[in-house]
Amino acid sequence: MNRERRALTRAGLKATAARERIFQLLESALPERHHLSADDIYARLRQSGERMGISSIYRVLTDLEDAGLVHRHHFDRHTMGRSLFELADGAEHDHMVCVETGRILEFQDPLIEARQRAIAERHGFEVVGRKLVIRVRRAGADRAP
């Protein structure tokens, strides 16, 4: 049994072909572009001659999200109105989005994370998840339109 099926089963999901395949796609996405929309996935599948209903893709992604295997994002104007999904493997990380190019960088900062937990606790909550997106621009770029 492969890595994907194991992850699905461990998460309490039936290891179906569709789930396995989408999981693989997310895993194998290039580091520079591993935030995929439902449609990206649909297109990539078609490119390799496979066919999956777009509704199934949405359902699978939602299931994976519920199981904590995938994160869903709504970044910015650049991707507004569309969800982007990425694998939730390894450590949680946050995102920086360049408002000019739409480029997405990831980073990780233990201090910010600790601080978030502290703030939540102060209000009587525990952290379930976090989502930090810093909108940035190349330093020194002109502000004028």
Partner DNA sequence: CTTATTGCAAAATCTTTGCACATTG
Partner DNA sequence: CAATGTGCAAAGATTTTGCAATAAG
Q: Which residues bind DNA (CB under 7 A)?
A: 9, 13-19, 37-39, 51-60, 62-63, 80-83
Coil/strand/helix, residue 144: coil
Partner that binds at residue 37, options a second copy, DNA, none, CB closer than 5 to 8 Å by kind: DNA
Cβ-contact 130, 72 below 8 angstroms: no
Our finding on whether 32 is near a second copy (CB under 8 A) is no
Q: Which does 53 bind (CB under 5 to 8 A by kind): a second copy, DNA, none?
A: DNA
- Sole binder of a second copy in the list 15, 18, 88, 99 (CB under 8 A): 99
Name the residue nearer to DNA (CB basis): 57 or 87: 57
* Cα-trace Rg, the chain: 17
- Cβ-proximal residues to 64 (8 Å cutoff; 6+ apart), any chain: 13, 19, 22, 23, 70, 85
